[in-house]
Amino acid sequence: MIGCGKMGGALLDHWMTGDENFTIVDPGLEHAPDGVRLLADRAALGDERFDVVVVAIKPQMIADLIPPYRDHLEPGGYALSIAAGTSAARIAQAMGGAPVVRVMPNLPAAVGRGVSGLYADPAAETAPLTHAEAMMRRAGATVSVDSEDKLDRVTAVAGSGPGYVFEIARAYVAAATGIGFTEDEARAMVLGTMGGAVAMAEAHGAPDLETLRNSVTSKGGTTAAGLDALNGDDLISARMRETLAAAYNRAVELR
């Protein structure tokens, strides 16, 4: 594992529930989880080879740091990249043509509730993708796609999605404090309401979201009044479309 920042560390905590053994090379990391070997320099690897090389560094560091690791990949191994905005082709070039599986995780992976997109480049056979999917499912749900363009769309929806949810929750809490509740009261009510609503939507056999919305909306009632103010003019729907388009366009630019 090359580098181990916040996302890499969060994933590693869940990956370790499997059968793999992990070695981290990161000069800036002082401590590693129990059972994980931590090295400050690649040279300490000697001539060791690994089944998977996990690329978990910033994109701008890849061209300089990754090429030497091609010598540490076992024949038949693959590179698993969580480097945001870095194409599989760039990783493959740095790794001497090795198969690459790109992963776009999101922040809730830290608590085992992530949604991760996966894309395997044409050089990757079934086994690398299957193994990568199994690893990522330890940190939440997975969505495998057949193109990097679609992975950019996953980035727009799920990768960046927690930011949208946190912003909506922040505005919701602020509105609740505006009608007389304390910050703690508002936060508890808003997060509890959002969490409960999501749990209902995720329940086995739950109806579609529109039906669920209608089930709590009585004609002429308080929910109807609130929904009309919220999205009666379709502004929220339009803003969400603009949000995803902006995030997707930026993902394409970064690729």
Q: What is the pLDDT of residues 3-27, one digit of tens each?
A: 999 899 999 999 999 999 999 999 9
Question: Closest by alpha carbon to 59, among 81, 29, 80, 44?
Answer: 81
pLDDT band at residue 255 under the 50/70/90 scheme: confident
- What pLDDT, on the 0 to 100 scale, is given for residue 84? 84
DSSP 138: T
H and E: helices and strands count for the chain: 10, 7
Residue 192, pLDDT above cutoff 90: yes
Q: Is the pTM of this model over 0.85?
A: yes
Mean pLDDT, residues 49-72 taken together:
94
Residue 133, pLDDT above cutoff 80: yes
Q: Decide if 144 contacts 118 (C-beta within 8 A).
A: yes
Structure tokens at 229: 């103010």
Q: What is the pLDDT of residues 164-189, one digit of tens each?
A: 999 999 999 999 999 999 999 999 99
- Spatial separation of the C-alpha atoms in residues 228 and 34, rounded to whole Å: 53
Contacts of 115 (CB under 8 A, 6+ apart): 106, 108, 140, 141, 142, 143, 158, 161
What is the set of domains in the chain, with CATH numbers?
6-146 (3.40.50.720), 161-254 (1.10.3730.10)
